Amino acid sequence: MKRTLALVVLVIFSTVAWTQSVQDDLRKIAEFRRMSPSFQKDTLLIGTQINLATTYNRLQKMDSVRYWLWESEKMLSKTKWQRGWGFFYRARGQYYVFTLKKDSSVADFIKSIAIWEKEKNWRQAGIASARLGNALLMDLQFDKSLFYLNQALKTFEEHNDYFSQANTLNYLSNVYRSMNNYTKALEIHRRVMQLVGKYKLNPDLIQYRHVATSYLFNNMLDSGRYYFAKEGIDIDKNPEKINDNFTYNRLSEFFDGAGMPEKVVKIANLSLQLAEKNKSVAYARTAHEMLHKSYQNLKNYEQALYHYGRAQQINDSLEKAEVSLKLSQLEMQYQTQKKETQIERQRAELAISKQTLLLNESKMSFLNKDLLLQQALVAQQNADKKRKEAEFKIANQQQKVAMEQLTQQNELTSQRQTRNLLLASIAFLMTLAGVLFYHNQSLKRKNKEISASVLKGQTIERKRVAADLHDSLGSTMSSLIYTVNAIDTNNLDNDEKNVYLHLKQMLDTAYNEIRLLSHNLLPEEFEKQGLAEALKHFVRKINQTKTIQFDLSIDPQLGRLSPQVEFELYSICLELVNNILKHAKATQAQINLSAPARTANRPNGELKLIVSDNGIGFFSNESDGKGIKNVRARIESLNGTWQVKSIENHGITNIISIPL
């Protein structure tokens, strides 16, 4: 009983340890990503991501394994880190073992071995060789499996790595048990126990349940029961405690050979349940095959036919997966050949281009000679032109004297005409200015009327949306919360309780967010008491529900502003605060609203709104986001300016100036 409790505690501790390892690796990845670009940053990130994928493999979370392997491969393709590829291929090979992609797993392990041998890292090469031997066992290639496992064992023995020797011997025992050579398997188990005792290795290296099955198949039933008991297992009373598909399969084979089909059915059903829980297709197939054989011996032909059909379905799906993988490989080979053909064609085109360039150079030489001849002809023409210009100059001076006399007469006439035209133009411009002034005043009146109408419309629409959120969606969320609270949690297991608590927390958060949003769209304080009171109420609400603490500072001399200015400033504050809550990752934020400062250029003063935080920075008011566009449009409608100061990891400061 004590041994059983110890094993349960060990399993729970291992799961918790793996989960903690996942959290630690995720935290490290976040820290490394914030580092400045460097080769060290890339290697730290890649190593941690591969370690995280390996941990997820142990936890059977294949989607997470696939994602982190993909992230690592992307970075490795841009980084010349050969050791990283060695770790990557070994981790991905183990992933392919779990997903039954046999050919792919073997190919990746071989690549890993080649890299580590080139790096002269005997231990990593030995580990990859041992993993390859285990992968070949999954494909029942016993000779190849034994070759790579013995190669790894020899490496570990040469370097006195006793821990790796024990692990590799356990792999070898699995091979001999799969070959039904239980005498050899038992001999290897005894070697593992000697290593653990002699060198004080971790006792968990002794796989007692596998030792027990080896004793059973050597017709040593009492010894088999003894080693099962070391793990708190009685194969007659509580075989469900085995919780290992490999051992279940060996027990099923033992009872089948002993002519005990009823016990085969019991053990095979436990193996099937565990395989379906862990989504292990290979073990599920073996369980269905054993159940088919046992039910046939028991003359329960209906169940025998059912399990035969299920085993065939799994075989068909595995064959389809292999065909799909081979098709993908052929497609990759085709694309590679296609690219090589394109490169050859581009090389041929480059040779043709070089020949064309040489021909063009010859043509340029000929054209240069022709140009020199043309320049000589132009020089002769220029000399003739200068002579004719001298003759034309003399004739031109004679005409100039006559033209001066005529010009004096024309100037007098032109002055009179210019004076009359100037007077007419002045009269026309004064008339036009009067018309434009009247039209401008009319447009200003219309713009004021339109702005007032738009403000009124926006106010009405905000009231309607706030009411809809509160009355319709708020009521729905209240009903959902009431329904969830009515669930009896006493009938739920631990996982379901965790889901229930998470769902309840999410519903409460959503309900509070909806109430805050419906209130903030157009709070009652805004209509009754103006911008200052509305902002005070808004900040109080946020500080009650959010982790970020907002400080609000409003100049006591600030009175009521025009409805449009107050409405637009409130909307701008809402949008900027929303950006801080969503993106800034800040702990503190400030809103400062100062009274208008009067200057010579702006006698009515200039209002300043400053919204800042201590978040991560990285913000630009030139963004194309809808919220940023709305803020920019509102500021422009008030003829204001918007300045953003963003410092990485020190937050953002928004400075908005509005002339009054």
**For position 10, what pLDDT does the model report?**
39
pLDDT in tens, 328-350: 655 665 665 666 667 667 766 77
Across-strand partners of 58?
none
Give the mean model confidence (pLDDT) for residues 183-204.
90
pLDDT band for 493, please (50, 70, 90 cuts): confident
Q: For residues 598-605, give the mean pLDDT.
A: 65
Q: Which two tokens stand for residue 493?
A: 């297991």
User: Which residues does residue 610 pair with via DSSP β-bridges, in sequence order?
Assistant: 592, 655
Q: 574: which 2 tokens? A: 């809402």
Sheet of 606-613: strand order equals 549-554, 588-597, 606-613, 651-659, 641-647
Tokens coding 520: 């903030």
DSSP letter, residue 594: E
Residue 8's pLDDT band, with cuts at 50, 70 and 90, is very low
Residue 12: band (very low, low, confident or very high) from pLDDT cuts 50, 70, 90: very low
Mean pLDDT, range 468-475, rounded to an integer: 59
Q: Return all residues near 65 (Cβ < 8 A) that are at least 6 apart.
A: 53, 56, 57, 95, 98
Look over the chain and give the mean of its residue pLDDT values, rounded to a whole number. 80
- The C-alpha angle with vertex 69 and arms to 105 and 25, in degrees rounded to 5, equals 125
Beta-carbon contacts of residue 612 (< 8 Å; ≥ 6 apart)? 589, 590, 651, 652, 653, 654
Main-chain dihedrals φ then ψ at residue 606, nearest 5 degrees:
-135, 125
Would you place residue 1 in the very low, low, confident or very high pLDDT band (cuts 50, 70, 90)? very low
Q: How far is CA 461 from the centre of its chain?
A: 38
pTM score of the predicted model: 0.43
Tell me, what's the pLDDT at 162? Answer: 92
Output the pLDDT for position 218.
85
Across 73-95, average pLDDT: 89
- 529-659: same fold as 110-206? no
CA distance 529 to 559: 10
DSSP 394-432: HHHHHHHHHHHHHHHHHHHHHHHHHHHHHHHHHHHHHHH
Is it the case that residue 556 has pLDDT exceeding 90? Answer: no
Q: In angstroms, rounded to a whole number, what is the distance separating the alpha carbons of residues 516 and 541?
A: 7
pLDDT category at 656 given cuts 50, 70, 90 is: very high
Lowest mean pLDDT among 117-121, 193-197, 251-255: 251-255
d(CA 576, CA 654): 8
Per-residue pLDDT, 337: 64
pLDDT band at residue 552 using 50, 70 and 90 as cut-offs: very high
CA distance 563 to 623: 28
pLDDT at 15 over 70: no
Can you list the pairs that 427-434 forms with residues at least 24 positions away whose Cβ atoms lie under 8 Å?
A: none
d(CA 124, CA 135): 16
Report the alpha-carbon distance of residue 241 to residue 262 in Å, rounded: 19
* CATH number for the domain whose boundaries are 529-659: 3.30.565.10
Confidence of residue 230 (pLDDT cuts 50, 70, 90): confident
Mean pLDDT across 503-516 = 69
What whole-number distance in Å separates Cα of residue 442 and Cα of residue 231?
95
SS3 463: helix
pLDDT for the residue numbered 7: 37
Distance CA 574, CA 534 (A): 11
| Averaged pLDDT, 258-287 | 86
Q: Give the tens place of pLDDT for each residue, 621-646.
A: 556 677 788 888 888 888 899 999 88
* pLDDT reported for residue 521: 56
Q: What is the pLDDT of residue 111?
A: 92
- pLDDT in the model for residue 11: 41
Average pLDDT over residues 247-253: 81
Please say if the pLDDT value at position 177 is more than 80. Answer: yes
Where are the domains positioned within the chain? Answer: 37-79+89-99, 110-206, 529-659
d(CA 285, CA 273): 12
Among 32-46, 166-180, 464-478, the minimum mean pLDDT is found in: 464-478
The reported pLDDT for the residue numbered 4 is 36
Please provide the CATH number assigned to the domain covering 110-206. 1.25.40.10
pLDDT exceeding 70 applies to what percent of the chain?
Answer: 81
Residue 13 has pLDDT above 50, yes or no: no
**Residues 123 and 87 sit within 8 Å (Cβ to Cβ):** no
Task: Say how far apart CA 577 and CA 550 lie, in whole Å.
Answer: 9
